[in-house]
Amino acid sequence: MYTLKSIPIGETVKVIRLDGQGALKRKIMDMGITKGIKISVKKIAPLGDPIEITVRGYELSIRKADAEKIIVERC
């Protein structure tokens, strides 16, 4: 298992679980990132933060600190 933070550009992954608690976990879920959903990594900023992903058909930028809380597996 990997974190979303460690996935290279162009890779598609499936969410296994969300780490974190309370408001942080709720924020991630409100963005549409839930268990079982597929995520594609589109871009990574030159300094590594933020990461642009495609989830549920829309583009989303997420901070590395938040991406570290998303546990994924390669498809």
Domain locations along the chain: 2-74
By C-alpha distance, which of 73, 72, 50 is closest to 61?
A: 50
Residue 41 — pLDDT band, cuts 50, 70, 90?
Answer: very high
Tokens of 42: 């589109």
Task: Give the model's pLDDT for residue 21.
Answer: 87
* CA-CA-CA-CA torsion sign (61, 66, 68, 70): negative
Task: Give the model's pLDDT for residue 51.
Answer: 95
Residue 1 — pLDDT band, cuts 50, 70, 90?
Answer: confident
Nearest-5° Cα angle at 23, 55 to 3: 45
CATH of domain 2-74: 2.30.30.90
pLDDT tens for 43-75 read: 999 987 899 999 999 999 999 999 999 999 998
Q: What pTM, to 2 d.p., does this model score?
A: 0.86
